[in-house]
Amino acid sequence: MSKSGVYETRKKDGSTYYRCSVTVKRKHISLGSYATEDEAAAVYEEARAIIDGDPASLPEAPVHLPYQKFITLLNLKINGVYFGNPIFLKKNFFEYHLSPDRILKFDRDDLFFYAAHKIQLKGGYLFVCDYGSQYKILKRYGIRPFAVEGRDYLLINGDKNDYRYTNIRILSNYTGVRAEYKDEEKSLVSGYTAVVHVNGDYIVGRYETEELAAIAYNKAVDVLHKNGIKKNFITNYIERLSAAEYKEIYDSITISDKISKIKPTHKL
């Protein structure tokens, strides 16, 4: 006879494994699959202890439960809401627990999205899958692909896990554009530098506004392509400018002579 909450089942090759689950307020919650009945039973008993336990004396860490499942049950017990993803609600924000050492913070405005999208960590970047594609969560906050923290955006309080909107400051809205600052706090901008990368950084020029620097970068990319540099540069779109206005600035803006001297012989 199987232990409480544990179900014996078989793989396609005929081998046996064990699943366990709990039911809370008519909601069926799977707790995973395990190699032995004792493992599954221990997970079930721990889950049951959280659900039935005193909220004032709940454990801070799991013993048998997978960590993320532990968080979902803890949130259900304390906050009365079940999420399939490892979300724990706080007063004005919520936590997304990737691991005991990686706990992300988000505004409540993002709750619906992250309740439906599982966060993954790959190559040091945080991703979600949406409509069959993967993209970095930074995109959700207006941070461009390949943006560098400290140069293109700031997490103001220094917490690399805090993605609340008040903690994010965009320093550069365009590819190849870097703001220059008068102060260490990066609050007073002195100008903008356009930089293009071809086996190293080349300064295109320094400009008064971010948009001028973005257009200068685009012009540098066009020169590089004409010179035979076969690199898939990301170019900038200046939304507020009409085509005629953009062309006028593009034709008149000056870029460094060094850009025209970069040839395909450079290793890309």
Cα separations in angstroms, 258 against 20, 215, 227, 255, 263: 66, 17, 12, 9, 10
Whether 51 shows a pLDDT value over 70: the answer reads yes
pLDDT at residue 268, as a whole number: 42
Residue 19 β-bridge partners = 7, 33
Q: Cβ–Cβ contacts within 10 Å for residue 196, how many? A: 27
pLDDT at residue 187, as a whole number: 77
Please state the rounded mean pLDDT for residues 231-245.
Answer: 93
pLDDT-derived band at 145, boundaries 50, 70, 90: confident
Residue 179 β-bridge partners = 192
pLDDT per position as a tens digit, 12-40: 898 999 999 999 888 899 999 999 999 99
- Where is pLDDT greater, at 169 or 131? 169
**Domains of the chain, earliest start first:** 1-65 (3.30.730), 83-171 (no CATH), 179-260 (no CATH)
- Where is pLDDT greater, at 1 or 57? 57
SS (HEC) of 10-42: ECCCCCEEEEEEEEECCEEEEEEEECCHHHHHH
pLDDT per position as a tens digit, 166-223: 999 998 899 999 989 888 877 788 999 999 999 889 999 999 999 999 999 999 999 9
pLDDT-derived band at 241, boundaries 50, 70, 90: very high
Judged on CB neighbours under 10 Å (0-12, 13-18, 19+), 133 is exposed
pLDDT at residue 194, as a whole number: 96
pLDDT at residue 266, as a whole number: 45
Q: Is the dihedral of CA 26, 27, 31, 32 positive or negative?
A: positive
pLDDT per position as a tens digit, 92-115: 999 999 999 999 999 999 999 999
CA distance 108 to 155: 18
CA distance 33 to 21: 9
pLDDT at residue 2, as a whole number: 64
Q: Are 47 and 22 in contact (CB under 8 A)?
A: yes
Q: Are 62 and 70 in contact (CB under 8 A)?
A: yes
Calculate the average pLDDT of the chain. Answer: 92
CA distance 131 to 133: 6
pLDDT-derived band at 265, boundaries 50, 70, 90: low
- Where is pLDDT greater, at 148 or 255? 255
Give the CA diameter of the chain. Answer: 83
Q: Cβ–Cβ contacts within 10 Å for residue 8, how many? A: 12
- Where is pLDDT greater, at 115 or 266? 115
Whether 5 shows a pLDDT value over 80: the answer reads yes
- Angle at CA of residue 105, ends 104 and 109, nearest 5°: 130
